[in-house]
Amino acid sequence: MKLFSSIYQKVMDWSKHRLASYWLALVSFTESSFFIIPPDVMLAPMSLAKPGKAWFYAGLTTIASVLGGLLGYVIGVFAFDMVEPWLHDLGYFEAYLTAQAWFNEWGFWAIFMAGFTPIPYKVFTIAAGAAAMALVPFVLGSLVGRGCRFFLVAGLMRWGGADLEKQLSLWVDRLGWAMVVAIIGAYFIWFH
């Protein structure tokens, strides 16, 4: 069944759209403070579709993400009481408490790691504001962490270029179904 290859082709077509850069910036901004979808899901296909613009896309994603992180910081400073129930409802409160402990112990390095890894960055941006983390280390840690992550993604796509796109189009259905099987297997292992 060619389910994933049709989705892959649709994503590649969207990544070439004339407004794709604006959508990438919007997703990058919102993901850093409240949205769930990581910008990598747009950055990777856009960099793959147009390898010559990969560095531009990585820079745009980094700047928009850090600006969104500043919004998360402001939410933490001024509106944490309103956000706290949301953190509980979405199961992020434990991550928030971990972020608080990390800020107390590591400061800059905590926000750097949150920016680089798949840890929910938005939780750390809000926690940084709520913990009154100094703004300059917050911005620097965010720039370095997010920049390293997004330039790595864009660089890998640029390096792979047309050859990678051809290989992905051949393997996308097999990879997609393997991922479905892995998720179902993980569900049964975890919950049974």
Q: At residue 132, what are phi and psi to the nearest 5 degrees?
A: 60, 40
Contact 106/139 with Cβ under 8 angstroms? no
**Whole-angstrom Cα distance, residue 154 to residue 185?**
31
Q: How confident is the model at residue 34 (pLDDT cuts 50, 70, 90)?
A: confident
The H-or-E segment that residue 116 falls in is helix 108-116
Q: How confident is the model at residue 150 (pLDDT cuts 50, 70, 90)?
A: very high
Q: At residue 154, what are phi and psi to the nearest 5 degrees?
A: -65, -40
Full-model pTM: 0.74
pLDDT of residue 61: 96
Lookup: tokens for 118: 């798949």
- Number of domains within the chain: 1
Q: How confident is the model at residue 139 (pLDDT cuts 50, 70, 90)?
A: very high
**Whole-angstrom Cα distance, residue 101 to residue 45?**
36
Residue 24 in this model has a pLDDT that exceeds 70 = yes
> 140: closest CA among 43, 53, 73?
73
Range of the domain at 150: 3-191
Contact 20/61 with Cβ under 8 angstroms? no
Compute the residue count for the chain: 192
**Whole-angstrom Cα distance, residue 132 to residue 28?**
23
pLDDT of residue 126: 87
∠38-40-44 over CA atoms, to 5°?
155
**Whole-angstrom Cα distance, residue 40 to residue 57?**
11
Mean pLDDT, residues 105-115: 82
Lookup: tokens for 11: 């994503």
Higher pLDDT, 172 or 177: 177
Please, what is the average pLDDT of the chain? 82
pLDDT of residue 148: 93
Query: Which residues, other chains included, contact 71 with Cβ-Cβ below 8 Å and sequence gap of 6+?
Result: 29, 32, 33, 125
